[in-house]
Amino acid sequence: MPVEATDGGVERVSIREPAPVGQHVRRRAGDVQRGRTVLAGDGRVLSPGRVALAAASGVCEVVVGARPRVAVVSTGDELVPVGQVPGEGQIVDSNSLMLALLVTAAGAEVAVRTSARDDEASVSATLAEAGDTADLVITTGGVSMGAYDTVKQVLSSSGAGRFSKVAMRPGMPQGSGRVGSRGTPVITLPGNPVSALVSFHVFVLPALAALGGASVDASRWPDPLGRGTEAVAGEEWPSAAHKVELTRVRVDERRICRSGGQGSHMLGALAEATHLAVVPAEVERVHVGDVLLCLPLLGTVP
Ligand SMILES: Nc1nc2c(c(=O)[nH]1)N[C@H]1C(S)=C(S)[C@@H](COP(=O)(O)OP(=O)(O)OC[C@H]3O[C@@H](n4cnc5c(N)ncnc54)[C@H](O)[C@@H]3O)O[C@H]1N2
Ligand code: MOO
C-alpha cells in the first residue's frame, strides 16, 4: 500500500483506497528461482550487473580469466612520437596510440607500446621482446610489397609468419605468426591508419575475445562476435568490386550515412564514424534503402 494512498499515520493508519491483493509485493524467487545458474562459466564478461547478481546471491568469489596482455608495436623509420612536430618525410605515430586505446576499450591490457625501425635487427629484437612480455602482439606497418616491408621480411624469412591478401577494403595486406621464446601469437596489421583500425575490429577483437574465453564463430566473419546491427542506407555510394568493403559511416536512428572520405589515410572520416558498414563482396554500389550490417566502433558507440 503506497503511503500516498493513506493519511500517512504511523501508530494508526487510515487507508483511503482499495488495495488489490499482491500489489507491490516482491515475492521470494520472483526474480531468480532456486536451482537456476546465476553465472555460467561461458566466457562472458563479468559485467557490473552480473557482479551484483553474484553478490546478492551470496557468491563472493568467482574464477575469472585474466585480461589478455597485448604488446602494440608500430614500425617505420618515418614515425615520430605523438607530440613531436613531423619534419619532411615524417609522420606522427598515431597508430600505436589508437591501437593501445582500442586494446583497452576491448577490455584487455596494454603490456607495452613501442616502435621499431625499418631494419631487420630492430624489428626482430622488438618482436622477440614484445612476445616475451605479452599474450598477444599486434604490429602496424611493413606488411605490403615494398623493399622496406620489414615485418613481413623478418617473419617470412624465419618461417614464423604467414602473409596474404584478404579480399577486403581497407585492410588488404594481413599477416600473423608467432614471436618470442613462448611462441606468442602476433597479428601484423597494415600501416595505413584506417586499415589498422578496421583490421583491429575484424581480426584482433575476435582474437582477444577468444583469449578471454568467449566463443567466436569464425564463419560469421567479419562479425564473428555477433556485435553488428542492421541499418538502412540513407545515401548511395560505390564499393570495391570483389572485396568486402568496411565503409566508415554514422548510424543515426538506423539510417546510414558515410562519415566522410574513404581513403585508408583519412582520419577525419574515421573520427566522425560510429560504425563500419559491411558491404558484401558482390555489391559494387550501395543504393538508398539497402539494409547493411553495421559493426559498432569500439569506444565510440556505448
Ligand atoms: N605494390 C603494392 N603496394 C601496396 C599494396 C599492394 O598490394 N601492392 N597494398 C597497399 C595497401 S592496400 C596497404 S593497406 C598498404 C599497407 O602497407 P604497409 O602495412 O606496409 O604499411 P606502410 O607502408 O608501413 O605504411 C602505410 C602508410 O601508413 C603510414 N603509417 C605507418 N605506420 C603508421 C603509424 N604508426 N602511425 C601513422 N601512420 C602510419 C605510413 O607512413 C604510410 O603512409 O600497402 C599498400 N601498398
Ligand atoms: O587495403 Mo589498404 O588497407 O586499403 O589501404
pLDDT digits (tens, 9 = 90+) for 144-189: 988 779 999 999 999 999 999 999 999 999 999 999 999 999 999 9
Closest CA to 233 of 174, 302, 300, 280: 280
Q: How far apart are CA 248 and CA 272, in angstroms?
A: 9
Assign 86 to helix, strand or coil: coil
What is the Å distance from ligand 1's center to 280 Cα?
A: 24
Instruction: For this complex, say whether ipTM is above 0.95.
Output: yes
Q: What torsion, rounded to 10 degrees, do the Cα atoms 220, 223, 229, 232 define?
A: -90
Q: Please state the rounded mean pLDDT for residues 17-43.
A: 88
Confidence of residue 302 (pLDDT cuts 50, 70, 90): low
Q: Which atom of ligand 1 is nearest to the CA of 142?
A: 20
Q: Which residues line ligand 2 (CB under 6 A)?
A: 169-172, 190, 192, 195, 264
Q: How many whole angstroms separate alpha carbon 100 and alpha carbon 70?
A: 8
Give the H/E segment covering residue 260: none
Q: Is 133 left (phi over 0), alpha (psi -120 to 50) or beta?
A: alpha
Question: What would the pLDDT profile of 98-139 be if each residue is shown by its tens digit?
Answer: 999 999 999 999 999 999 999 999 999 999 999 999 999 999
3-state secondary structure of 237: strand
Domain(s) of CATH 2.40.340.10: residues in the chain = 229-296
Fold type of domain 229-296:
Beta-clip (2.40.340)
Which residues are near ligand 1 (CB < 6 Å)? 74, 76, 78-79, 91, 93-96, 140-145, 149, 170, 172-173, 190-193, 195, 264
Q: What are the pLDDT digits (tens) for 199-234?
A: 999 999 999 999 988 889 999 999 999 999 999 999
The domain defined by 69-220 folds into Molybdenum Cofactor Biosythetic Enzyme; Chain A (3.40.980)
**Closest to 92 measured CA to CA, from 185, 193, 5, 241:** 193
Tens-place pLDDT, residues 102-112:
999 999 999 99
Residue 20, preceding bond cis, omega within 30 degrees? no
Question: Does the pLDDT at position 6 exceed 90?
Answer: yes
**211 neighbors 135 (Cβ within 8 angstroms):** yes
**Tell me, what's the pLDDT at 281?**
97
pLDDT at position 276: 98
How far CA 182 is from CA of 69, 128, 135, 153, in Å, comes to: 14, 10, 9, 21
Ligand nearest to the CA of 147: 1
The residue to mutate among 140, 164, 169, 243, having the most atoms of ligand 2 within 8 angstroms of its beta carbon, is: 169
All CATH 3.40.980.10 domain ranges of the chain, comma separated, are 69-220
State in Å: Cα 176 to ligand 1 middle. 16
pLDDT at 130: 98
